[in-house]
Amino acid sequence: MKKIISLVVIACGLLAAINANAQKIGYIRIDDIVSLMPEAAKIDTLLQKYQNDSLNQTLNNIVQEYQYKDSMLTKVDTTKTPKQVLNQLRTDVNVLAYQIQNWQSLAGQAYQAKQEQLLAPLYNKAITAVRTVAKEKGYAYVLSKDAFLVAPDGDDMLPAVAAKLGVKIPAGMPTQQQRPAVGKPNQ
């Protein structure tokens, strides 16, 4: 009797070990799926409009204000103008000159913040779809293709997630069959 119980325990242990090793692994790039979503094109248009209308207009306003205050500074009669007014005008001109010089960095930060704000719902939607597909298809792990240089073989989940979101994969976008597996060199 003890031998039978021991064999059952060993068999259960082996089945558990085999089951643990047989977990499915999938791979996906979230950026790929987000780029396929129709909302992404609309966001690109909104970001371009934000760049042109808001950021460029703000720079133009700063430049105009700088030019106006700089011309005031050169035209003002320093003998009749109070020293406090002259100092404030010089400070304003210096601050505006600094803003113009650093505009690329400031505009880049503003653009990135706007981009993150607009794309956050798409990324949330994509991640929810990945989780849903993983659960439906029995994936124990879903990894980002970007994160690993070497990884065990797994399934490219892009087609399944694209189908879940109702988006089409363009003909030119590589899929699992066209890409080398993660961790394997091109042959």
Between 5 and 148, where is the model more confident? 148
**In the predicted structure, residue 6 carries a pLDDT above the cut 80:** no
pLDDT band, residue 149 (cuts 50/70/90):
low
Question: Which amino acid is it at 1?
Answer: M
Residue 128 CA to residue 120 CA, distance in Å, equals 12
Flag the least confident range among 69-73, 119-123, 138-142, 169-173.
169-173
Least confident of 71-75, 91-95, 138-142, 169-173: 169-173
Per-residue pLDDT of 78-136, as tens digits, reads 778 888 888 888 899 999 999 888 888 888 898 999 999 999 999 999 999 999 999 99
In order, the DSSP letters of 100-166 are: HHTHHHHHHHHHHHHHHHHHHHHHHHHHHHHHHHHHHHTEEEEEETTT-SS----EE-HHHHHHHHT
Domains, in order of start, for the chain: 25-165 (3.30.910)
Share of the chain above pLDDT 90, in %: 26
The span from the CA of 151 to the CA of 56, in Å, is: 45
The residue behind tokens 């065990």 is 152
Q: What is the DSSP string of 96-119?
A: HHHHHHTHHHHHHHHHHHHHHHHH
**Mean pLDDT (the chain, rounded):** 79
Give CA torsion, residues 115, 119, 120, 122, to 10 deg.
180
Check pLDDT > 60 for residue 11.
no
pLDDT at position 128: 95
